[in-house]
A and B are shown apart, each in its own frame.
Chain A
Amino acid sequence: AQSVSQHNHHVILSEAASLELGCNYSYGGTVNLFWYVQYPGQHLQLLLKYFSGDPLVKGIKGFEAEFIKSKFSFNLRKPSVQWSDTAEYFCAVNAGDGNNRLAFGKGNQVVVIP
């Protein structure tokens, strides 16, 4: 079974600061990778996804993530955060074997101070 690790569960930063959230997974085969975001009072929404091709993927709201296969990592980045980026961020993985069940990390609670 896949497992997903997210560190630094709580992150507090000021507007305009850069954000990087780490995600590591344990699965040796082909994987599909996702970052979901949950804004306060809202449901989970997809930020970005990686299935194949260019390992640097761009998502909504200026977010991007880089898949590094050798490091089993899929880190999320945003160069300059805004107060509206305050949310919980979840990394998720599914095995690229036809089963699309998602394994989630524990999430990162990000608070952006105006």
Chain B
Amino acid sequence: DAGVTQSPTHLIKTRGQQVTLRCSPKSGHDTVSWYQQALGQGPQFIFQYYEEEERQRGNFPDRFSGHQFPNYSSELNVNALLLGDSALYLCASSLGRGLPYEQYFGPGTRLTVT
């Protein structure tokens, strides 16, 4: 049973560029959440997708957007990259919206903006 997978593992981009990160949820899970983890900090919630719609959003600007596909996989897009966007981006999947199921995390994508 595959857990949460994310691609790519590492990414280097230049300021102003755009980036797309990908996530496949754990088998059977239908809800995907994205988190940003800056160095030395805990993960911060970006947004959550369920039934192909953004259901909740944290305190992140509109430069951060996402998508969920019919197979429950998800993408995180960041436009107009800033140096401060350098971080580990984590995807987490869970089963069902509105229920306190635990979230399973992927290994993350390390984004470096130069």
Please list the residues of chain A having a beta carbon within 8 angstroms of any beta carbon in chain B. 4, 6, 32, 34, 36, 42-46, 49, 51, 90, 92, 94, 96, 98-107
Query: Do A90 and B101 touch (CB < 8 A)?
Result: no
Contact A101 B48 (CB under 8 A): yes
B contacts, CB < 8 Å to A? 4, 31, 33, 35, 40-45, 48, 56, 58, 90, 92, 94, 97-108
**CB < 8 Å neighbour of A4 from B31, B35, B40, B42:** B42
Q: Is the CB–CB distance between A43 and B105 below 8 Å? A: yes
> Given B35, B41, B99, which contacts A106 in the complex, CB threshold below 8 Å?
B41
Provide the bound-state CA to CA distance between A100 and B33, in Å: 9
Do A100 and B42 contact each other (CB < 8 Å), given the known contacts A34-B102, A43-B106? no
Contact A104–B40 (Cβ < 8 Å) = no
> Other than the known A34-B102, A101-B56, what 8 A-B pairs have Cβ atoms closer than 8 Å?
A43-B106, A90-B42, A90-B43, A100-B99, A100-B101, A101-B33, A102-B45, A102-B103
Dominant secondary structure at the B interface: loop
Question: In whole Å, how far is A81's beta carbon from the nearest beta carbon of chain B?
Answer: 21
The CA of A26 and the CA of B111, in the complex, are separated in Å by 31
Query: Which residue of chain B has its CB nearest to the CB of A1?
Result: B59
Give the residues in chain A near B94, CB-CB below 8 Å.
100
Pair B42/A106 contact, Cβ less than 8 Å = yes
**Using Cβ atoms and an 8 Å threshold, which residues of chain B touch A34?**
102
**B contact residues around A107 at 8 Å (CB):** 41-42
| 5 pairs of residues in contact across A and B, judged by CB atoms under 8 Å | A92-B42, A101-B45, A102-B43, A103-B45, A106-B42
Residue of A nearest to B103 (CB): A102
CB neighbours of B42 from chain A (8 A): 4, 6, 90, 92, 104-107
Contact B43 A46 (CB under 8 A): no
Contact A99 B56 (CB under 8 A): yes
